[in-house]
Amino acid sequence: MRRLALALALALAALPARAADLPPEVDHMLWCSSAFYWLSADAQDAGQSDEADRYDKWSTSLAERAAAGLKGLGYSDEQVGELADTYDNEVVTELTGTTRRYDPAGCAAFISDP
């Protein structure tokens, strides 16, 4: 029984953190990185390559900054990747729905060259 409890605890510890478990700034940066990722794809589909490139640049920059913050908190590369994937999936649902955790317009605050 103890082995099962230990195995369960280790499995849960390996799961990526949720937004509530992260520092607010890292959560917001991850959310914005994913939002810019999807906005880049939309712009590319619409034939707006300059806008797509700009959104992609912002997405990459925020993803790198958030990853550095997560690694400083002890997250592995694999955990950072899983967390980014989770955000991408959640944010695309939010962007196509009516409820969003953050306003995409507020993401400009993280960008040095808006």
- pLDDT per residue as tens, the chain (114 positions): 444 333 333 333 444 455 558 999 999 999 999 999 999 999 999 999 999 999 999 999 999 999 999 999 999 999 999 999 999 999 999 999 999 999 989 999 999 865
Closest residue by Cα to residue 95 from 43, 32, 35: 35
> How confident is the model at residue 89, as a pLDDT?
95
> How confident is the model at residue 29, as a pLDDT?
96
Please count the residues of the chain: 114
Q: Which residue has the tokens 């900054």?
A: 65
> How confident is the model at residue 21, as a pLDDT?
82
> How confident is the model at residue 47, as a pLDDT?
97
Residues in contact with 79: Cβ distance below 8 Å, sequence separation at least 6, in sequence order: 14, 16, 17, 70
Taking the domains of the chain in order of start, what are their residue ranges?
17-110
